[in-house]
Amino acid sequence: MFRLIRNVVLSVLAVIWLVPVYLLIVNALTPVSEYHGEPRWIPGGFAIVENIVAAWNQSSLGLGMFNSLLYATCSALIAVLAAGLAGFAVVVMPVRRPTVWFWLIYLGTLLPLQIFLAPLFKAFVGAKMYDTSIGMILIYAAICVPFAFFIVRNYLTTIPPEIAEAAKLDGAGWGRLFAQIHLPLIRSSLFAAFIFQFTWVWNDLLFGITLTTSPDRRPVMAALAEINGGFVNVGPPVVLAAALLASLPTVVLFLSCQRFFVSSLRASA
């Protein structure tokens, strides 16, 4: 009985999640001339290529996707490496008060991001990093560290401490212990953290419109917001086609790394 109820609930949740995706795809396929202001439930044509081309030509969507790819890849890699080192220090190394260090780092995920905007804006302008690629990578990396640390640290707690003790008896230092023993063991958690942080950076709009102004620095979501702001001129199907294109990289990344993602979450739980 419990299994039946669980399957019904999961099926209902899946349908609720899939309906907006279905509407997005159907209306992105619809030619602009066939769209009359109401969402379509049945495709009115197959104009996805024309709609994507229109969005690409009338905005900086392509440049925004390149910028987001740069920001998401670099910042997620930096955050994952920092999280791995921090998790190793808190769990494996004999630091004092590891619980305090855990909450001190993890606290970054509990604060609303809006409180950082004003001081960040002033700091970026003062440091001449406003509207620069390096500035965006650094702020994204800093924000991504706490949650990545949470994932990696939880995974590290599942590794038997006897492994580290045996390696230290063989003369391994902390650097070798991390690079040659623990780093390969936590690979799946690093992949999972990378997927989470890559997706978050790719989908971010708040910092994209706050810390950048020029089209050659703005991420894809800021470019998509620009298209959405002018949808009267291009038509809703063009906006939806652009949104569909912008979502593809994260979907491809998740599907390609799904095995590492699932195994890491199971071990961390």
Q: According to the model, what pLDDT value does residue 259 have?
A: 67
What digits encode the pLDDT tens for the residues 108-129?
777 787 887 888 888 888 888 8
Q: Does residue 158 sit in helix, strand or coil?
A: coil
Please identify which residue in the block is written with the tokens 């500035």: 135
CB 194 within 8 Å of CB 260: no
Highest mean pLDDT (candidates 40-54, 58-72, 154-168): 58-72
CB 147 within 8 Å of CB 196: yes
What digits encode the pLDDT tens for the residues 161-199?
877 778 777 777 888 778 888 888 888 888 888 988 999
Biggest distance spanned by C-alpha atoms of the chain? 74
Among 66, 36, 34, residue whose Cα is nearest residue 50:
34
Q: Does residue 232 sit in helix, strand or coil?
A: helix
Which residue ranges make up each domain of the chain? 66-220+248-268
* pTM confidence score: 0.82
CB 24 within 8 Å of CB 244: yes
Among 199, 186, 164, 198, residue whose Cα is nearest residue 263:
186
CA–CA separation, 149 vs 139, rounded Å? 16
Q: Extract the runs of DSSP E, i.e. beta strands, from 9-151.
A: none
Q: According to the model, what pLDDT value does residue 157 have?
A: 85
CA–CA separation, 116 vs 146, rounded Å? 15
CA–CA separation, 13 vs 26, rounded Å? 20
What's the one-letter identity of residue 66?
F
Question: What average pLDDT does the structure give for the chain?
Answer: 81
CB 194 within 8 Å of CB 76: yes
pLDDT at 225 over 70: yes
CA–CA separation, 237 vs 79, rounded Å? 36
Encoded tokens for 47: 């104009």
In CATH, what is the architecture of 66-220+248-268?
Answer: Orthogonal Bundle (1.10)
